[in-house]
Amino acid sequence: MLTLVEKILFAISVLVSLYFTYKGVMRIASHIASGKGKADWSLIWKRVGELILKVGFFQPVFRFRLWTSILHALIGWGFLSFLLINLADLIYAYTGWRLLDNTGAFGDVYRLIADIANVVIVLSIVAMVIRRFILRPATLSTRETTLLHPKARFGIMRDSAIVATFIFLHNSMRFLGESFNLALAGHTDSWQPSISAVSQLWAGVEPGVLVAGEHIAFWLSIGAVVAFLPYFPYSKHIHLFFAPINFAIKPERKSIGELSYINLEDQSIEQFGAAKMKDLGWEQIMDSYACIMCFRCQEVCPAYNTGKLLSPAALEINKRYHFNGGGTTDVAMTELISEEAVWACTSCGACVDICPVGNEPMRDILDIRRNLSMMESAFPKQLETALKGMERNQNPWNVSQADRMKWAEGLNVPTIEQNAEPEILWWVGCAPATDSRAQKTAQAFAKILNTAGVNYAVLGKNEACTGDSARRAGREDIFFGLATQNVEILNEVAPKQIVTTCPHCLHTIRNEYPAFGGNYQVIHHTQLINELVGAGKISLEVSSEQYSVTFHDPCYLGRHNKEVDSPRDALKSAGVLTIEMPRNGAKSFCCGAGGAQMWKEEEAGSARVNEARFREAKSTGADTIAVGCPFCLTMMTDAAKGDSSEIQVKDVAEIVVERMKQVSE
């Protein structure tokens, strides 16, 4: 189709474009390579099925903003088909041979797909343009108080405009070019219905005009790709390349909240956490390039939702704009996110869970905390009491270990010294052992175990805090000491199975103690309750006075450890009516206590996190808020008191005990 001169000009244009694209890609590669660690490319083969699901079917995208996700997927699927379509068009332009056009049924299907894809992409991108530039939802930006790179607010809009223009131009011109070609052929093609319909408009047009139109359409369509390529590494749409890499080779995690191991016995370590961007892992730097700037992580962030300065999206965007402005990884992390925002994070994992490209902004924040706490001693002073308690008395409540078993008085709870080979080791946890409200959960669960005749034991005075709050506060030294001590004791006991009433304990023992040589089977107490009910070891009596319950999913149970059914099954067994909150399961809204927030005051905002969650629970009309975490129990109880509400807050175990026949008799 192209003339000789056009072929030469196009080839030169491609070479120039590829040269500048290569320069941009190598710039990105150098930034990523400056991060800590190295990629394990062998992970690709383990994740082939996952990659097909996530990249081919856009599965992560559909978890949020359904209609926008559908439009995004239609554009994405259209462009996947255009990889072959553009190749065929290029071959035709240089040889005059139309690939796949005359290959029987396959060629027919190919032309139909090309026709449909053309129309779908154009219509979808128009809809996306209307949404972004006319409707302009607040969810596509951030508040003025958020620390955002000065060029980002305009830059994101400009970027979207450039990309939308490119997509519209590329596809509409390809569509027109094909219609000119059909008009020249003097016939329609039933396998290209849309293009054929438009080709009828050119009936009677001079062939020379149609030929010129076909040439112009090619240059505007394929030429748009050539012109866009050098801009691609600077555009947010580089995520098309880095999102699949993110899914393919990001380091394996036992949970989205699992933090990297630091061996404090290694005297050669000079830097703890991330003071500068180069202190981050290579995958954390790559996150900035995978980021699509969709602000979904911000939309689910409990800190941002309650008016605080933290925006996980802004952190990733700032990293990218810093690079695009010629910056290096020597930049201080506090230039990219304020210290106040760093300490507002509840480590709920919502940002990691919802990200459609696999980014982990929470991990950056916790690495910054490590640096602030370990290297600069710059952490909220309210944390000092809890941290000292963990150091001196092995629990953040600062209660003497000698009083660790007071909660169990009169309940016949066996310690490991009394029952050296239990089937179940119950890790009670600091809150149920020392906090007066959480002790009721422990007492209820003890009654369940005793009634069911479970062969269990507790560590008693030998049990110490798992160190979760210390680690999330950046005090890796305190966590290291507690984890080392606990693993040593647990390995000596060699438990067959561990049950916890605290999701934070469950998460730490299950996912983080393996790095210290502790590998255990750990379950939540609601899972064990369901096993006991299923085995007929406890019988629950359904009351004629049925009351309604809404279950608040603890972040470290539902989102971090993917256990959402057991608490609900236990409540159903107890015969209560369960009403779901709008945000539930893996999408549950945080209570506000995680990430060491339990031990400090919240940063300034429009509301407290627990109050926002309580209002959501209250809106269901339920009589009781059920929880499965001592932190959630405290936060929801405080919110109920602050609201002067009659809504009760109870652990699942407490509700089960109320309905347990053996206890009532």
CA–CA distance, 341 with 303 (Å, rounded to integer): 9
Q: What's the pLDDT at 79?
A: 87
Number of H helices, E strands in the chain: 28, 8
First and final C-alpha spacing in the chain: 90
In whole numbers, what is the pLDDT of the chain averaged over residues? 94
Phi-psi region of 629 (alpha: psi -120 to 50; beta: other; left: phi over 0): beta
Residue recorded with tokens 């089977």: 521
Return the closest-CA partner of residue 165 out of 213, 132, 210, 207. 132
Given a contact cutoff of 8 angstroms between Cβ atoms, the answer to whether 634 and 614 are in contact is no
Indicate the helix (H) or strand (E) that contains 367.
Answer: helix 361-374
With b meaning 16 or more CB within 10 Å and e meaning fewer, what string describes 124-150?
bbebbbeebeeeeeeebbbeeebbbbe
Instruction: Tell me the pLDDT tens digit for each residue of 147-156.
Output: 999 999 999 9
Torsion of CA 598, 603, 608, 613, to 10 degrees: -60
Residues 6+ apart with CB under 8 A from 255: 507, 510, 511, 560, 561
CA–CA distance, 90 with 260 (Å, rounded to integer): 48
Q: What's the pLDDT at 665?
A: 39
Instruction: Tell me the pLDDT tens digit for each residue of 501-520.
Output: 999 999 999 999 999 999 99
What token pair was written down for 573?
């067994």
Q: What's the pLDDT at 61?
A: 94
Instruction: Tell me the pLDDT tens digit for each residue of 121-180.
Output: 999 999 999 999 999 999 999 999 999 999 999 999 999 999 999 999 999 999 999 999
Asked whether the predicted pLDDT for residue 542 surpasses 80, the reply is no
CA–CA distance, 75 with 72 (Å, rounded to integer): 5
Q: Strand pairing partners for 60? A: none
In this structure, which long-range contacts are made by residues 82-85, counting pairs with CB atoms below 8 Å and at least 24 apart in sequence?
82/117, 82/121, 82/171, 84/110, 85/114, 85/117, 85/174
How many Cα neighbours within 13 Å face the side chain of 634? 17
Among 184-193, 321-330, 591-600, name the one with the lowest average pLDDT.
184-193
Instruction: Tell me the pLDDT tens digit for each residue of 374-416.
Output: 999 999 999 999 999 999 999 999 999 999 999 999 999 999 9
Q: What's the pLDDT at 645?
A: 93
Q: What's the pLDDT at 102?
A: 65
Given a contact cutoff of 8 angstroms between Cβ atoms, the answer to whether 468 and 503 are in contact is no
Q: Is 9 in a helix, a strand, or coil?
A: helix
Give how far the C-alpha of residue 162 lies from the chain's centroid of Cα atoms, to the nearest Å: 28
With b meaning 16 or more CB within 10 Å and e meaning fewer, what string describes 222-242?
bbbbbbbbbbbbbbbbbbbeb
Number of other residues whose CB lies within 10 A of the CB of residue 377: 7
Indicate the helix (H) or strand (E) that contains 482.
Answer: helix 476-493
Asked whether the predicted pLDDT for residue 187 surpasses 90, the reply is no
The residue type of 358 is G
Q: Is 172 in a helix, a strand, or coil?
A: helix
Given a contact cutoff of 8 angstroms between Cβ atoms, the answer to whether 284 and 364 are in contact is yes
Instruction: Tell me the pLDDT tens digit for each residue of 287-297.
Output: 999 999 999 99
Pinpoint the alpha helices (H) of 56-104: 66-95
CA–CA distance, 67 with 355 (Å, rounded to integer): 17
Q: What's the pLDDT at 544?
A: 63
Q: Give the angle 282-286-291 at the CA atoms, nearest 5°.
A: 155
CA–CA distance, 350 with 517 (Å, rounded to integer): 29
Asked whether the predicted pLDDT for residue 664 surpasses 50, the reply is no
Residue recorded with tokens 């608490």: 567
Asked whether the predicted pLDDT for residue 663 surpasses 90, the reply is no
CA–CA distance, 563 with 544 (Å, rounded to integer): 30
Asked whether the predicted pLDDT for residue 104 surpasses 90, the reply is no
Instruction: Tell me the pLDDT tens digit for each residue of 215-257.
Output: 999 999 999 999 999 999 999 899 999 999 999 999 999 999 9
Asked whether the predicted pLDDT for residue 103 surpasses 90, the reply is no
In Å, how far are 29, 242, 284 from 233, measured between CA atoms?
A: 11, 10, 17
Return the closest-CA partner of residue 345 out of 380, 319, 381. 380
CA–CA distance, 398 with 396 (Å, rounded to integer): 5
Provide mean pLDDT across the span 186-199: 92
Stronger pLDDT, 543 or 358, i.e. the higher one:
358
Given a contact cutoff of 8 angstroms between Cβ atoms, the answer to whether 345 and 362 are in contact is yes
Given a contact cutoff of 8 angstroms between Cβ atoms, the answer to whether 301 and 143 are in contact is no
CA–CA distance, 302 with 546 (Å, rounded to integer): 33
What token pair was written down for 661?
């026949």
Among 358-372, 392-406, 540-554, 571-585, name the one with the lowest average pLDDT.
540-554
Does the pTM surpass 0.95? The reply is no
Q: pLDDT band at residue 98, thresholds of 50, 70 and 90?
A: confident
Given a contact cutoff of 8 angstroms between Cβ atoms, the answer to whether 274 and 339 are in contact is no
In order of their start, the domains of the chain are 4-12+64-140+148-248 (no CATH), 252-374 (1.10.1060), 383-532 (3.40.50), 541-664 (3.40.50)
State percent of the chain over pLDDT 70.
Answer: 98
Q: What's the pLDDT at 268?
A: 87
In Å, how far are 113, 179, 577 from 118, measured between CA atoms?
A: 8, 12, 50
Given a contact cutoff of 8 angstroms between Cβ atoms, the answer to whether 81 and 113 are in contact is yes
Residues 6+ apart with CB under 8 A from 189: 111, 182, 195, 196
What token pair was written down for 229?
């390529």
Instruction: Tell me the pLDDT tens digit for each residue of 325-369.
Output: 999 999 999 999 999 999 999 999 999 999 999 999 999 999 999
